[in-house]
A and B are shown apart, each in its own frame.
Chain A
């Protein structure tokens, strides 16, 4: 299985602060996703990215969230003003085909 890397592995931030989560893509994988998983709950779709633009986003992905590709390769998920309920594991995933998603190890975000 292809390897996806995410940094940091754990981020602690105060409510209202901005956080940036990073994901290193797998080369030749065209589809990119961000998901979150609140502790003990299901994996939730946030946003998908294809051909350098957002292809779809969920109702969770409001104006506080943004996804970018700042250097043309790595992907970032930015949360502008974190809330306590943003505490979760955040996973990025890549795929060569629509039905294929290889997940990263995740970033654990703790908002205090």
Chain B
């Protein structure tokens, strides 16, 4: 079983839709959870981070962590064509600097 799994997509949605992106993981010691957006041939851009369980909201983005299910989600409300990118989840254990990334989900928002 891979340490972090993400559906590669592509996920195509119409403009204005609510997008749900997910990652599952196997390491119960993960405590820090991040979401990045990556445009083609660019560096990942940090969108949100959460520590342990719970929800966090920032503008159109909401991150959720369910540690009991080892499942994290990123919701994007009112999606825009400019949101079209690859979305990466990343996570790490509390006492380490090593971050494990998912393979990314490619999102296409159609105008």
Q: Hey, which bits of chain A sit against chain B, CB under 8 A? A: 1, 4, 31, 33, 41-45, 48, 50, 55-56, 58, 89, 91, 93, 98-106, 108
Contacts and interface: CB of A to CB of B under 8 A. Distances in A.
A28 B15 CA distance: 39
Given A56-B98, A98-B97, A99-B34, A42 B43 contact: no
28 contacts: A4-B43, A31-B97, A33-B99, A42-B103, A45-B98, A45-B100, A45-B101, A48-B98, A56-B98, A89-B41, A91-B43, A91-B44, A98-B32, A98-B92, A99-B32, A99-B49, A99-B92, A100-B46, A101-B34, A103-B36, A103-B43, A103-B45, A103-B46, A104-B43, A105-B42, A106-B41, A106-B42, A108-B41
B43 A48 contact: no
B88 interface: yes
Interface of B: 32, 34, 36, 41-46, 49, 51, 88, 90, 92, 96-104
Given A41-B103, A106-B42, A100 B97 contact: no
B34 to A, nearest CB: 7
Contacts of B96: 56
A48 B44 CA distance: 17
